[in-house]
Amino acid sequence: MLFRTSSIACCLSLAASLLADPAMALELQLPPQGDDVVGQIQVVQAQYKDTFAELGELYNLGYTEMVAANPGVDPWLPGEGTDIVLPTRFILPPGPRDGIVINLAEYRLYYFPKGENVVHTYPLGIGREGWSSPIAITKITAKTPNPAWYPPQSIRDEHAADGDPLPKIVPPGPDNPLGPFKFNLGLPGYLIHGSNKQFGIGTRVSHGCFRMLNSDLLHLAGIVGVGTKVRIINEPYKFGMREGKLYLEVHAPLQGKEGKEASSLMDKHASVANELLKYDQAKSSFHLDWEIVRDIVATEDGLPVSIAEQSPTTFAGQVATPGT
């Protein structure tokens, strides 16, 4: 895939400077008005005994996005000297850049602080099948350091059936699955919280709540206040502009009742075309390279890739071709 290799290679010189001091949390400058792409792809060489879970924690990335960006690489033993792609370039989620935006399909939270020209972004663990995280607009209703956990009866029943009974109250401490802090949401029963098991951040592992790395959670707790808007979406296909070029970022659609589930590659092509039509309503026309689009949709690696440049060619004449 020459287009993808060259895209990564052009970022290596910038990545070298960024990697000298990996940030505890990703804070990225917002792009100029009209643009939607932030950050840069980075590449590091694995050291002996590195794992994706450890590299993800170091560079603020979740397990699923690390695996998607590095097909064919063993996530538990990549091998010393193996090039590891760090997917730290993002198309910002669609909609207002206001408060917190959680995109379930990419296992990621974005926070847009009011009056600042930056975005903070963090990997998340989300609800597994049968305990899906909701799609909703809500807000932060409370902040609690060192929370106790009161497991609901449904979770206690599940643990009891597995031979692992839970007490009615789990006090704060290293065995508390909420970690060192929690945010209550205006959705009863749903939280943003830490964890006593850091593996699983960036996967479908929770009972519907949103899990964060503890260091990320404490950073977020210091900058987000009660009343902050929280918008939860499920967008596996994101489009965005950067310097006159149109980018596409594709994540594997979630399986389950969250919606946007595509059972075939043809369905996914149709979904991408529909999302692009919605995005293009406020944009100029583009001459699309549908071969690249098909490749990105099939790969689902989460890396933003340029698919078109602004052109006098009418987009309406191009959109009918993705299924051919």
pLDDT tens digits for range 100-114: 999 999 999 999 999
In whole angstroms, what is the distance from residue 54 CA to residue 318 CA?
Answer: 43
In whole angstroms, what is the distance from residue 210 CA to residue 134 CA?
Answer: 10
Co-location of 313 and 218 in the same domain: no
- Would you say residue 117 lies in a domain? no
Co-location of 35 and 83 in the same domain: yes
Question: What is the pLDDT averaged over residues 130-140?
Answer: 81
- Would you say residue 260 lies in a domain? yes
Digit-coded pLDDT (tens) for 147-182: 987 776 667 776 677 776 776 777 888 888 888 999
Kindly state the tokens that stand for 323.
């299924």
Q: What is the pLDDT of residue 52?
A: 92
- Would you say residue 207 lies in a domain? yes
CATH of the domain at 220: 2.40.440.10
In whole angstroms, what is the distance from residue 94 CA to residue 255 CA?
Answer: 21
In whole angstroms, what is the distance from residue 291 CA to residue 276 CA?
Answer: 15
Co-location of 87 and 104 in the same domain: no
Question: What is the pLDDT averaged over residues 70-98?
Answer: 95
Digit-coded pLDDT (tens) for 173-217: 888 888 899 999 999 888 999 987 767 787 766 556 899 999 999
Last residue of a domain, one of 203, 230, 257: 230
- 294-305 as b/e: b if 16+ CB within 10 A: bbbbebbbbbbb
Mean pLDDT of the chain: 81
Kindly state the tokens that stand for 57.
């924690």
Co-location of 257 and 143 in the same domain: no
Co-location of 129 and 195 in the same domain: yes
Phi, psi of 220 (to 5 degrees): -65, -40
CATH of the domain at 50: 3.10.350
The number of folded domains in the chain is 3
On whether the CB atoms of residues 216 and 261 are closer than 8 A, the answer is no
Co-location of 138 and 204 in the same domain: yes
Residue 270 predicted with pLDDT over 70 = yes
Residue tagged active-site, from 11, 120, 193, 269:
193
Last residue of a domain, one of 178, 210, 230: 230
Q: What is the pLDDT of residue 256?
A: 58
193 in catalytic set: yes
- Would you say residue 235 lies in a domain? no
Co-location of 174 and 261 in the same domain: no
**Which residue's structure tokens are 């489009």?**
239
DSSP bridge partners of 237? 250
Domain with 154, as residue range(s), is: 100-111+123-230
- Would you say residue 322 lies in a domain? no
- Would you say residue 116 lies in a domain? no
Phi, psi of 265 (to 5 degrees): -65, -35
Question: What is the pLDDT averaged over residues 62-84?
Answer: 94
Q: Outline where DSSP puts E strands in the chain.
A: 26-29, 37-39, 42-45, 83-86, 89-91, 99-103, 108-112, 118-123, 126-127, 136-145, 181-185, 191-193, 204-206, 210-211, 229-233, 237-242, 245-250, 286-288, 305-310
**Helical H runs in the chain?**
2-9, 12-18, 52-59, 63-69, 153-161, 214-221, 265-280, 290-299
- Judge residue 36's burial from the number of C-beta atoms within 10 Å of its C-beta, 0-12 exposed, 13-18 middle, 19 or more buried: buried
Co-location of 191 and 310 in the same domain: no
Residue tagged active-site, from 11, 120, 207, 209:
209
Question: What is the pLDDT averaged over residues 40-60?
Answer: 92
Kindly state the tokens that stand for 257.
């009742």
Last residue of a domain, one of 209, 230, 251: 230
Co-location of 201 and 264 in the same domain: no
In whole angstroms, what is the distance from residue 217 CA to residue 25 CA?
Answer: 10
Co-location of 252 and 202 in the same domain: no
pTM for the model stands at 0.84
Co-location of 180 and 214 in the same domain: yes
- Would you say residue 256 lies in a domain? yes
- Would you say residue 324 lies in a domain? no
209 in catalytic set: yes
Residue 255 predicted with pLDDT over 90 = no
Co-location of 84 and 106 in the same domain: no
